[in-house]
Amino acid sequence: MESRISIITLGVKDFLAAKDFYTIGLGFRASSAGSSNIVFLDAGGVGLALYPRDLLAQDAEQPDNGSGFRGVTLAHNVARREDVATVLAQAQSAGAKIVKPAQDAFWGGHSGYFADLDGHLWEVAWNPHFKFRADGGIDLSR
Amino acid sequence: MESRISIITLGVKDFLAAKDFYTIGLGFRASSAGSSNIVFLDAGGVGLALYPRDLLAQDAEQPDNGSGFRGVTLAHNVARREDVATVLAQAQSAGAKIVKPAQDAFWGGHSGYFADLDGHLWEVAWNPHFKFRADGGIDLSR
């Protein structure tokens, strides 16, 4: 197995609202690969797909019965400490709920969380210990 | 906001077992950025972090009360149809549970799902409609 995540798929209740949130609200670009109920967004080195939650459960052959904390978070890392609050404000303007305002973190950085329209959690973080690659991703090669 | 996912963090119950599953079992490489209870794996263009689930809930200020389907799946796309079964078998050998064996999909590809030690769902997929970038990621630029 190549050590790679190709796509993260988020199950969504209102597909068009979710698509608008990520494209118009947050600025992700939809690729031409989608159809009427799936969209693939270019999220840097990885794809972010939005798909109706009931169909996602069905595809994975799981009962669509989940509730509460999902045990998964997505992180958007920024290059400057002050960008954390800016990105959280942008997400809030687009309809996200701020679940943890920007604040200093015990590990020496600065971060906050928002929940998207379907409750998927995003951390917005500035981590002074990380280096960025030329393409903007975090350099985890060492 | 730059349109990028930097890191996907999976909450795990047994940190060392989860780390072994992903590093020894699946072949992901741990970066030096981790500590005694967090590991950052290089997952291609994006980072895959493993962190105790209760601490992840606490960091996001959420009650750690989730159950059932999480509404999130990770996908590992392969270049050849026959690789789907091979990767699922590797995951099973490493301790994963096969939740959907490799099979032809309605959208023209071939895929299956495994659940990791904590129930996080991975789809292994061959999608003939996708093109790969030189670095091995899916090309969603068009």
pLDDT tens sequence across B49-91:
999 999 999 999 999 999 999 999 999 999 999 999 999 999 9
With residue A10 as reference, give the H or E element that holds it.
Answer: strand A7-12
B25: DSSP letter: I
Residue A40: which CATH number? 3.10.180.10
Closest chain B C-alpha to A134 CA, distance in angstroms: 12
CB of A97 within 8 A of CB of A104? no
By C-alpha distance, the chain A residue nearest B126 is A6
Same domain, A82 and A117: yes
DSSP per-residue letters across A78-131: -SSTTHHHHHHHHHHHTT-EEEEEEEE-TTSSEEEEEE-TT--EEEEEE-TT--
CB of A51 within 8 A of CB of A37? yes
Same domain, A6 and A54: yes
- B54 in reach of chain A (CB within 8 A): no
Same domain, A78 and A132: yes
Q: What is the mean pLDDT of chain B?
A: 96
Whether the per-residue pLDDT at A29 is higher than 90: the answer is yes
pLDDT band at residue B136 under the 50/70/90 scheme = confident
Q: What is the mean pLDDT of chain A?
A: 96
- Write the residue in A31, A66, A135 that is nearest to B71 by C-beta: A66
What part of B 87-126 touches A (C-beta under 8 Å)? 87, 90-91, 99-100, 113, 118, 120-121, 123, 125
- Write the residue in A9, A69, A87 that is nearest to B75 by C-beta: A9
Q: What are phi and psi of B15, to 5 degrees?
A: -60, -45
Same domain, B77 and B50: no
Closest chain B C-alpha to A6 CA, distance in angstroms: 5
- A4 in reach of chain B (CB within 8 A): yes
> Which residue has tokens 């690969």?
A33
Same domain, B78 and B130: yes
